[in-house]
Amino acid sequence: MRRVRSIAGDSVNLLLYRELGRCDDAAEETLWRLNPTLAEYGPVLPAGVWVIVPEMASRPAALRLVSAWD
């Protein structure tokens, strides 16, 4: 895990995408668990908030699409 500072106007999704290259549900859930007081700032984070970013793969495993003709 590493700590990063937010930039003015950051949302959790934007911060995750910038730092991990992904902002899916699993990454967001992990970030909220690591930073339980982050919700106090509202949907847009002010500049300079320290956020613990989880160490995760840059992209989630690809899902195999299922076709109706399979």
pTM assigned to the model: 0.75
Mark the ranges of the chain whose per-residue pLDDT is less than 70: 58-63, 70
pLDDT the model gives residue 58: 66
Q: What phi and psi, each to the nearest 5 degrees, are found at residue 4?
A: -130, 160
Residues linked to residue 3 through DSSP beta bridges, in sequence order: 52
Q: Cα separation of 37 and 35, whole Å?
A: 6
Q: Cα separation of 2 and 52, whole Å?
A: 6
